[in-house]
Amino acid sequence: MHDRDGIMNPDTERGLAAALRALPQEAPQPDLWPDLARALSQRRQPSRWRYALPAALAAGIALAVLAPRWPLEPNAAPAPGAPAVAAVTPAVPTAQKPDDSAELDVLHQRSQSLERWIAAFTANAPQDSRDLMAAVEVEDLIGLVDVQLDAARGDGDALPLWRQRVALLQDLATIRGNAFAVAANDAGATRASSQMLN
Amino acid sequence: MSATSFQIDIAETTLARARRGDLRALEQIYRTFERPAYTLALRMLGNVETAREVVHDAMLHLLERIGQFRGDAPFWGWLRQIVVNEALMKLRRERGVQFEELPDDDDTPSTDPAPWALAEARHLERALDRLPALTRSVLWLYHVEEYTHQEIAEMTGKSVSFSKSQVARGSTRLRNLLESDTPRYPQEVASCMTATAS
């Protein structure tokens, strides 16, 4: 922590800080650990969507690689009515080494493009519960990376995290894109069967 | 004295075991940070039940994702940020978008000796509890956790000058509350005792 520009008399400020720090620490009552241990054990048990996620990723791999480059220009706006993506690209750290700044710029732009693309797909594609849960899990992981980015002290810390963030956004794009492809196929099949019936 | 009680390093072997899902390692990490986390949440929120919920959610969030922790930022910093974010979210949800703030007329500096140097812990705790939640949170984050005004402004979505004014007004209000709550000088205590005896 730095740049602490105090506004009180420094002695008074130090005195208050010392008095507050001297207050006794408290512990949650009753103990939280039994609940936490139970929740952790339950969530580690395999569930259906944990197996479905790799399948969805594999099925949509072509969309993940190709589609984010296709529909949106770098400054294109999301589709009308598109909800905001849960993760918002954080600001790039200002203090950067020259070697890393170019890659950070590219990753930041890629991150923004993917977010716009995901927002557009989210608006257009219905999500089944399996995809929705997988997407929520990936969004949580993006949130985790964002927390670590907040704590990053320079580009040495930030660069691998930005790479991880873009990779996770690509995973999210795959899940969204896969759902969109399935929905499009379903719509096509419905139209074809209607024509046959008529 | 350590700047913040959160600054505790976790052994790499414990982290490695926790990443593999070893429940005893996860509990060891929880026990290490249980008090600093709960104390921070309690000081920010001023309510034991809500603070308990915040620590539960923050710890679950952290322990579930510990496998994703890269170790390039301090572990305690990651946890502390999660607790602060959860507590601020709780304040926003419970009090709406607008936080209660101290008025302008509460930042008149005093030249009297600072009462917190002599105040008993329970008096200081009681005075803290009587501050508006956001003022108390800003005061604690600044003085105890040593966040800068810039960092506090980013976390609360307010300006740097807002953070500074809350620290100044909060300190003045705390001084006033302590002065009205506790005898200021030993002579006053003696005179009170004499008056009571007679």
Interface test with A, best of B27, B29, B34, B155 (most A CBs within 10 A): B34
Could B68 and A144 be called an inter-chain contact, meaning their C-beta atoms sit closer than 8 Å?
Answer: yes
pLDDT category, A160, cuts 50, 70, 90?
confident
How many domains does chain A fold into?
A: 1
Tell me the residue range of the domain where A155 lies.
48-197
The answer to whether residue A175 is domain-embedded is yes
What CA–CA distance (Å, rounded) separates A56 from B84? 35
Most A-contacting residue of B7, B22, B23 (CB-CB within 10 A), to test interface: B23
Taking the Cβ of residue B23 and every Cβ of chain A, the question of whether any pair is shorter than 8 Å is answered with: yes
Provide mean pLDDT across the span A147-156: 77
Greater pLDDT, A42 or B30: B30
Q: What is the pTM of this model?
A: 0.59
Task: Give, in degrees to the nearest 5, the angle at Cα B164 between B158 and B166.
Answer: 80
Determine the pLDDT at residue B194: 44
Asked if residue A8 belongs to a domain, the reply is no
Q: B114–A15: do the CB atoms touch at under 8 Å?
A: yes
CA distance B102 to B97: 16
- Listed in sequence order, the residues at least 6 apart from B70 whose beta carbon sits closer than 8 Å to its beta carbon are A148, A160, A161
pLDDT score of A52 more than 80: no
Classify domain B12-95 at the CATH topology level.
Rna Polymerase Sigma Factor; Chain: A (1.10.1740)
Residue of B nearest to A40 (CA): B64
Within-domain flag for A156:
yes
pLDDT, tens digit, 9 for 90 and up, residues A99-139: 678 888 889 888 888 888 877 766 555 555 456 556 767 77
Parse chain B into domains and list their residue ranges.
12-95, 104-197
ipTM above 0.85, yes or no: no
Smallest CA–CA distance, residue A41 to chain B, in Å, is: 8
Question: How does residue B154 score in pLDDT terms, banded at 50, 70 and 90?
Answer: confident
Number of H helices, E strands in chain A: 7, 0
List of chain A residues whose C-beta atoms are within 8 Å of the C-beta of residue B74? 151
Task: Give the model confidence (pLDDT) of B55-84 as tens digits.
Answer: 999 999 889 888 877 777 788 988 998 899
With respect to residue A112, please indicate whether it lies within any of the assigned structural domains.
yes
Distance, in angstroms, between B193 CA and closest chain A CA? Answer: 27
Residue A106 within any structural domain of the chain: yes
Q: What is the 3-state secondary structure (H, E, C) of A124-180?
A: HCCCCHHHHHHHHHHHHHHHHHHHHHHHCCCHHHHHHHHHHHHHHHHHHHHHHHHHH
Q: B104-197 domain in CATH 1.10.10? A: yes
User: Which pLDDT tens digit goes with each residue over B15-45?
Assistant: 999 988 899 999 999 999 999 999 999 999 9
